[in-house]
Structure formats: C-alpha cells, structure tokens
C-alpha cells in the first residue's frame, strides 16, 4: 500500500506555509537568524521539534514565525515545502499563507510577495505547482480581515483562494462575510476553516455567511446528520487533516476519526496535513493511516487522491491528466 500511495500523483489542499517548515528549513533559518534563539544544532532542533502538546506546538510555531524577516526567509520556506512535496510525489498544492502575521511582524508586503514568487518558480522547476490561499487569522479580528483582503486584491501570481483560520470559539464566521464577498467578487475561491474546534453550527455559518466552497477540517459535521447530508448533496469537499486532529486532541485516534462517517455519508473527503512537521505528519502518512484504520482497498485510496484533484482549484483541463495518471496507477496494481 505504501508504494501504491507513493506512486499516486497527489494534491495537497490544506497546508500552512509556516506550519510546513521542516527541520532542514528551520536549521537554515536558525543559522541565518541566531538572535531568535532557535536551536541551530540538528539534534537539539529535532528535540525542540518533537510534538509534546498543543502549547509546545504553538511555541515552536511562533519561534519559526519569529525568524521570518524578509523575502529570503519566505523563499526558504516555500522551497523547503516544495522539496518535501516533490519527495512524496505531490504535484500540486494550495498553500495557506497568512500575510497579516508577516506584516505585523514588520515584513513589508512586497517582501512577502517576492519570496512567494521566487520560491514558487523553484517549485515549478522540480515538478510541484504551488497555488496560494491568503487567510485571515480570525483571532486578530476585523483589522486582520481588512488587511488580508487588501493584500489579496493585489491578485499576486498563483493566488486562488481566500481563507479564515485560527481559533473558532468566540470568533464567529459571519463577521467576516463582507470580506469574503469582496474576495469572491475579485474571483477568489472561499475556503474558511470551520468545525475543527467547534460544532456543526460553525460549518453552517461558513456555508451560509461566507459561501464556503470547501471547508477546512469540518470534523464536527458528523454531529449533525442534516449537515452531513447537505455537504454530500452539494458536493462541498472537506479538507480533512486526521493527524492534526489527533495531535490537537479533537479526536482520540485516527481509528476514532469521523472520516469513516464522512465517507459513509457520501461526503467528498480529501486528506491533508495542516502543519506536517510540527505534527509528525506527511501526506503519504495520512493516506496510509486512513487506509489502515478504515481497512481501505486500493480503489478507495485512489478515490481519495481523485477527490483532491477534483476539489482543487486547478483548471479542468489540468485535472484530466492527473486523473488519468491515478487511473493508470490503480490499473497497474
Ligand atoms: Zn489549518
């Protein structure tokens, strides 16, 4: 099964740029910015990077964030992610970037864009196409929404969608409706997080108020049969991140993950990694873990890979060769 998963051309739809920083990337950043105090020794960094609990995860995340000062640092992140995706035969990824956090850290917007663009060109050269989702850090409220929208309306190369992340409790989705409306009017797709750390009502709100085309996580949808049915009927894909949900203690184990009920309910499930090295996750690992926990056969696993292609914002003519390649890999089993 592992070699089958490796052979499938894959698409990743939910990965955060800062959260994608692996050991090699962070070593490079730590050596460039010793003042940040992040271990520049591999063994020490590996210990620092080992997942302990959610608070430690946040500490590591913000330590990485603190080393992002200019275009070279963004470039380093993007290239590190692209190399890792190429290693796993991931051909296309929609990567979530949170420009507001970089800008409030003092990085000019032009630097963010320059790093994204130069990194994206390197990625293309190694066979990985990257697209961007600019997301609002919800906990920072309406000023963050305003800045993120203004930045997105520059329509940089590769930007396909507009998102909303951060904690859900006390951060109602509806308040962001005008920003999502404006993003949609500018031709961007709408992909908020919802139902990761709160109940199904947040997912309903994301659909109703933000007109979400895909849902980031959506884990709690299974608590509401009418919602599950609605998602299936409307074909609204979920960006499911099983290991992330286990690590953040939203679910007890991959085996206990509601992905089974989602699939049984006819929902379009895609598998994704969220913040992979922080959670000790890889996209291949997510496929393998779900295949094992749910006792899936090759055709079911291929279907998950197809779902990600179909749920992506790639133009239709670009989806066809990927779907054909998945079919060919399945036929060769
Ligand atoms: Zn996320």
Interval between CA 103 and ligand 1 midpoint (Å): 20
Interval between CA 169 and ligand 1 midpoint (Å): 15
Instruction: Give the pLDDT confidence score for residue 245 in this predicted structure.
Output: 96
Q: Give yes or no for a contact between 200 and 221, defined as CB atoms under 8 angstroms apart.
A: yes
Interval between CA 332 and ligand 1 midpoint (Å): 34
- Per-residue DSSP letters for 239-289? EE-HHHHHHTTSSS-STT-THHHHHHTT--EEE--BSHHHHT--HHHHHHH
Instruction: Give the pLDDT confidence score for residue 131 in this predicted structure.
Output: 98
291 contacts: CB under 8 Å, gap ≥ 6: 1, 5, 300, 301
- Per-residue DSSP letters for 299-317? HHHHHHHHHHHHHS-S-HH
State the number of CA atoms in the 13 A half-sphere of 256 facing the CB: 8
Instruction: Give the pLDDT confidence score for residue 53 in this predicted structure.
Output: 87
Instruction: Give the pLDDT confidence score for residue 74 in this predicted structure.
Output: 98
What are φ and ψ of residue 165, in 5° steps?
Answer: -130, -165
Name the region of 312 (left: φ>0; alpha: ψ -120 to 50; beta: rest).
beta
297 contacts: CB under 8 Å, gap ≥ 6: none
Directed axis angle between helix 141-152 and helix 177-185, to 10°?
0
Q: What is the pLDDT of residues 96-106, one digit of tens each?
A: 999 999 999 99
What are φ and ψ of residue 240, in 5° steps?
Answer: -90, 135
Strands (E), 171-223: 189-194, 215-217
Interval between CA 15 and ligand 1 midpoint (Å): 6
Directed axis angle between helix 316-331 and helix 298-311, to 10°?
170
Interval between CA 12 and ligand 1 midpoint (Å): 12
CATH topology (fold) of 2-331: TIM Barrel (3.20.20)
Directed axis angle between helix 42-49 and helix 54-65, to 10°?
130
Which of 94, 168, 196, 286 is flagged as catalytic?
196
pTM of this structure: 0.97
196 is catalytic: yes
Interval between CA 100 and ligand 1 midpoint (Å): 16
Interval between CA 47 and ligand 1 midpoint (Å): 24
Interval between CA 219 and ligand 1 midpoint (Å): 12
- Residue 186 CA to residue 270 CA, distance in Å, equals 26
Interval between CA 241 and ligand 1 midpoint (Å): 8
| Helix (H/G/I), strand (E/B), else coil: 25 | helix
Question: Residues within 5 Å of ion ligand 1 by Cβ?
Answer: 274
Instruction: Give the pLDDT confidence score for residue 52 in this predicted structure.
Output: 87
What parts of the chain have a pLDDT lower than 50?
Answer: none
Interval between CA 14 and ligand 1 midpoint (Å): 6
- Using only the alpha carbons of the chain, give its radius of gyration: 19
């Amino acid at each position: 099964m592992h070699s089958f998963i490796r052979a499938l051309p894959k698409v990743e739809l939910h990965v955060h740029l800062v959260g994608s920083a692996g050991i090699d990337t962070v070593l490079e950043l730590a050596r460039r910015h010793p003042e940040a105090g992040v271990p520049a020794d591999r063994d020490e960094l590996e210990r620092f990077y080992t997942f302990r609990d959610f608070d430690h995860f946040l500490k590591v995340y913000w330590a990485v964030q603190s080393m992002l000062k200019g275009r070279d640092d963004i470039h380093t992140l993007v290239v590190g992610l692209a190399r890792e995706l190429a290693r796993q035969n991931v051909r296309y990824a929609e990567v979530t970037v949170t420009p507001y956090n970089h800008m409030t850290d003092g990085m000019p917007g032009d630097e963010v864009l320059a790093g994204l663009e130069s990194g994206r060109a390197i990625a293309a050269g190694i066979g990985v196409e990257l697209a961007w989702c600019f997301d609002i850090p919800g906990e920072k409220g309406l000023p963050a929404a305003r800045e993120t929208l203004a930045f997105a309306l520059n329509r940089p190369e590769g930007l396909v969608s507009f998102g909303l992340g951060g904690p859900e409790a006390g951060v109602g989705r509806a308040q962001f409706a005008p920003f999502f409306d404006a993003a949609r009017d500018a031709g961007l797709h709408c992909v908020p997080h919802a139902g990761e750390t709160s109940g199904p009502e947040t997912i309903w709100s994301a659909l109703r108020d933000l007109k979400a085309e895909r849902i980031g996580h959506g884990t709690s949808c299974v608590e509401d049969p009418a919602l599950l049915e609605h998602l299936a009927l409307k074909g609204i894909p979920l960006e499911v991140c099983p290991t992330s949900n286990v690590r953040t203690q939203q679910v007890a184990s991959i085996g206990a993950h509601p992905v089974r009920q989602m699939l049984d309910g006819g929902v379009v499930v895609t598998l994704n990694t969220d913040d992979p090295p922080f959670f000790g996750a890889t996209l291949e690992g997510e496929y393998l873990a779900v295949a094992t926990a749910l006792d899936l056969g090759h055709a079911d696993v291929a279907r998950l890979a197809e779902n990600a292609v179909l749920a992506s914002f790639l133009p239709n003519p670009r989806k066809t060769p990927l779907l054909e390649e998945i079919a060919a890999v399945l036929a060769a089993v």
